[in-house]
A = this chain, B = another copy of it.
Amino acid sequence: MAEKTAPVSARVVLQQCLHAKLQVKPAEVDSDAEWVEIQRGMVIYICFFKGATEGIIPKMVGALLNVKLCELDSGKYVSVLDLPGHVLVVPQATLGGRAKGKSMQYHGNIDKEDGKRLYELLVSRCEQQLSSSGACVEAGVAVQHGTYGNRQVLKLDTNGPFTHLMDF
Protein backbone atom coordinates (compact mmCIF):
# COMPACT_ATOMS: atom_id res chain seq x y z
CA MET A 1 0.00 0.00 0.00
CA ALA A 2 1.01 3.60 -0.49
CA GLU A 3 1.84 5.65 2.56
CA LYS A 4 2.06 9.29 3.51
CA THR A 5 3.53 10.46 6.77
CA ALA A 6 4.83 14.02 6.44
CA PRO A 7 2.83 17.15 7.16
CA VAL A 8 1.54 18.76 3.99
CA SER A 9 1.86 22.48 3.12
CA ALA A 10 0.24 22.39 -0.31
CA ARG A 11 -1.69 19.96 -2.48
CA VAL A 12 -1.61 20.02 -6.26
CA VAL A 13 -3.63 18.11 -8.84
CA LEU A 14 -2.20 18.15 -12.37
CA GLN A 15 -4.13 17.35 -15.54
CA GLN A 16 -2.84 17.32 -19.08
CA CYS A 17 -4.95 19.22 -21.62
CA LEU A 18 -5.28 19.90 -25.32
CA HIS A 19 -7.30 23.01 -24.58
CA ALA A 20 -8.63 24.58 -21.38
CA LYS A 21 -10.71 27.66 -20.80
CA LEU A 22 -11.24 29.28 -17.40
CA GLN A 23 -13.56 32.09 -16.38
CA VAL A 24 -11.65 34.81 -14.55
CA LYS A 25 -14.50 37.32 -14.16
CA PRO A 26 -18.19 36.41 -14.03
CA ALA A 27 -20.72 38.20 -16.21
CA GLU A 28 -22.28 41.30 -14.67
CA VAL A 29 -25.25 43.45 -15.59
CA ASP A 30 -23.18 45.61 -17.91
CA SER A 31 -20.33 43.28 -18.90
CA ASP A 32 -19.77 39.79 -20.29
CA ALA A 33 -17.81 37.14 -18.43
CA GLU A 34 -14.05 37.19 -19.05
CA TRP A 35 -12.13 34.02 -19.83
CA VAL A 36 -8.52 32.95 -20.29
CA GLU A 37 -7.60 29.92 -22.32
CA ILE A 38 -4.62 27.77 -23.12
CA GLN A 39 -3.81 25.26 -25.82
CA ARG A 40 -1.86 22.07 -25.14
CA GLY A 41 -0.22 21.96 -21.76
CA MET A 42 -0.95 21.41 -18.09
CA VAL A 43 -3.68 22.49 -15.68
CA ILE A 44 -2.38 23.01 -12.13
CA TYR A 45 -5.08 22.98 -9.42
CA ILE A 46 -3.63 24.24 -6.17
CA CYS A 47 -4.51 24.45 -2.49
CA PHE A 48 -2.38 25.67 0.41
CA PHE A 49 -2.67 24.42 3.98
CA LYS A 50 -2.14 26.25 7.27
CA GLY A 51 1.54 26.65 7.99
CA ALA A 52 2.60 26.99 4.33
CA THR A 53 5.21 29.70 3.81
CA GLU A 54 6.86 31.51 0.90
CA GLY A 55 9.88 29.24 1.22
CA ILE A 56 7.98 26.39 -0.41
CA ILE A 57 7.21 28.22 -3.66
CA PRO A 58 10.53 27.81 -5.55
CA LYS A 59 10.64 24.08 -4.77
CA MET A 60 7.01 23.59 -5.80
CA VAL A 61 7.34 25.48 -9.07
CA GLY A 62 10.58 23.66 -9.85
CA ALA A 63 8.90 20.30 -9.31
CA LEU A 64 5.66 21.12 -11.16
CA LEU A 65 7.31 22.55 -14.27
CA ASN A 66 10.09 19.96 -14.49
CA VAL A 67 8.34 16.68 -13.71
CA LYS A 68 8.01 14.59 -16.87
CA LEU A 69 4.25 14.15 -17.34
CA CYS A 70 3.68 15.30 -20.93
CA GLU A 71 3.60 12.54 -23.53
CA LEU A 72 5.26 13.07 -26.90
CA ASP A 73 4.02 11.30 -30.04
CA SER A 74 7.02 9.00 -29.61
CA GLY A 75 5.62 7.81 -26.27
CA LYS A 76 8.43 9.53 -24.37
CA TYR A 77 7.49 11.82 -21.45
CA VAL A 78 8.87 15.33 -21.02
CA SER A 79 8.19 18.25 -18.69
CA VAL A 80 5.78 21.04 -19.59
CA LEU A 81 8.85 23.32 -19.97
CA ASP A 82 10.41 20.93 -22.48
CA LEU A 83 7.18 20.17 -24.38
CA PRO A 84 6.96 23.23 -24.42
CA GLY A 85 3.38 23.59 -23.21
CA HIS A 86 1.07 26.19 -21.76
CA VAL A 87 0.25 26.33 -18.05
CA LEU A 88 -3.11 27.15 -16.46
CA VAL A 89 -3.03 27.69 -12.69
CA VAL A 90 -6.38 27.20 -10.93
CA PRO A 91 -6.86 28.03 -7.23
CA GLN A 92 -8.79 25.10 -5.77
CA ALA A 93 -9.44 25.33 -2.05
CA THR A 94 -11.71 22.27 -2.17
CA LEU A 95 -8.59 20.10 -2.56
CA GLY A 96 -7.92 20.73 1.12
CA GLY A 97 -11.14 19.05 2.24
CA ARG A 98 -11.34 16.06 4.55
CA ALA A 99 -14.50 14.01 4.74
CA LYS A 100 -16.13 13.94 8.18
CA GLY A 101 -19.27 11.85 7.97
CA LYS A 102 -21.11 13.04 4.87
CA SER A 103 -19.59 16.53 4.90
CA MET A 104 -16.30 17.97 3.77
CA GLN A 105 -14.42 20.06 6.28
CA TYR A 106 -11.71 22.56 5.43
CA HIS A 107 -10.13 23.19 8.84
CA GLY A 108 -6.63 22.55 7.47
CA ASN A 109 -6.86 25.19 4.73
CA ILE A 110 -4.77 28.33 4.91
CA ASP A 111 -6.58 31.60 5.63
CA LYS A 112 -7.69 33.56 2.60
CA GLU A 113 -5.17 36.41 2.78
CA ASP A 114 -2.09 34.17 3.15
CA GLY A 115 -3.45 31.80 0.49
CA LYS A 116 -3.88 34.65 -1.98
CA ARG A 117 -0.32 35.86 -1.38
CA LEU A 118 1.20 32.38 -1.86
CA TYR A 119 -0.96 31.76 -4.91
CA GLU A 120 0.17 35.00 -6.54
CA LEU A 121 3.82 34.23 -5.75
CA LEU A 122 3.42 30.80 -7.34
CA VAL A 123 1.83 32.22 -10.49
CA SER A 124 4.53 34.86 -10.73
CA ARG A 125 7.30 32.27 -10.27
CA CYS A 126 5.74 30.09 -13.00
CA GLU A 127 5.69 33.10 -15.33
CA GLN A 128 9.38 33.79 -14.60
CA GLN A 129 10.35 30.19 -15.29
CA LEU A 130 8.51 30.05 -18.62
CA SER A 131 9.85 33.43 -19.72
CA SER A 132 13.43 32.37 -18.93
CA SER A 133 13.10 29.22 -21.06
CA GLY A 134 14.24 29.79 -24.64
CA ALA A 135 12.02 26.98 -25.92
CA CYS A 136 8.93 28.44 -24.18
CA VAL A 137 9.55 31.96 -25.42
CA GLU A 138 10.17 30.75 -28.97
CA ALA A 139 6.99 28.61 -28.94
CA GLY A 140 4.99 31.48 -27.45
CA VAL A 141 3.67 29.40 -24.56
CA ALA A 142 2.50 31.26 -21.48
CA VAL A 143 0.99 31.03 -18.01
CA GLN A 144 -2.69 31.78 -17.51
CA HIS A 145 -4.40 31.68 -14.14
CA GLY A 146 -7.66 31.97 -12.27
CA THR A 147 -8.67 34.65 -9.79
CA TYR A 148 -8.13 33.60 -6.17
CA GLY A 149 -11.43 33.36 -4.30
CA ASN A 150 -13.65 33.27 -7.41
CA ARG A 151 -15.64 30.30 -8.65
CA GLN A 152 -13.42 28.50 -11.19
CA VAL A 153 -15.73 27.88 -14.14
CA LEU A 154 -13.66 25.55 -16.33
CA LYS A 155 -13.92 23.75 -19.65
CA LEU A 156 -11.30 21.10 -20.32
CA ASP A 157 -10.49 19.10 -23.42
CA THR A 158 -7.95 16.31 -23.07
CA ASN A 159 -6.34 13.50 -24.95
CA GLY A 160 -6.26 11.72 -21.57
CA PRO A 161 -6.24 13.90 -18.43
CA PHE A 162 -3.44 11.78 -16.88
CA THR A 163 -4.41 13.18 -13.48
CA HIS A 164 -1.56 13.36 -10.94
CA LEU A 165 -1.45 14.35 -7.29
CA MET A 166 1.55 16.02 -5.68
CA ASP A 167 1.74 17.00 -2.02
CA PHE A 168 4.41 19.43 -0.80
Contact = CB atoms under 8 A, between A and B. Distances in A.
A158 to B, nearest CB: 5
A127 to B, nearest CB: 21
Interface string A74-108: 00010100000000001010111111001110001
Contacts of A45: 161, 163
A103 to B, nearest CB: 6
A66 interface: yes
Interface stretch (A8-16, A34-42, A111-119, A137-145): A8-16
A29 interface: no
B156 A160 contact: no
A121 interface: no
A54 interface: no
- The complex is assembled from copies of this chain, and their number is 2
Nearest to A165: B95
A162 to B, nearest CB: 5
A71 to B, nearest CB: 10
A94 B5 CA distance: 20
Given A2-B8, A92-B163, A156-B158, 18 more contacts: A1-B9, A2-B98, A3-B6, A13-B163, A63-B99, A67-B104, A68-B102, A79-B102, A92-B161, A92-B162, A94-B162, A104-B164, A152-B158, A152-B160, A153-B159, A154-B158, A154-B160, A156-B156
12 contacts: A1-B9, A2-B11, A5-B5, A11-B165, A13-B163, A68-B102, A77-B103, A92-B161, A92-B162, A94-B162, A104-B164, A154-B156
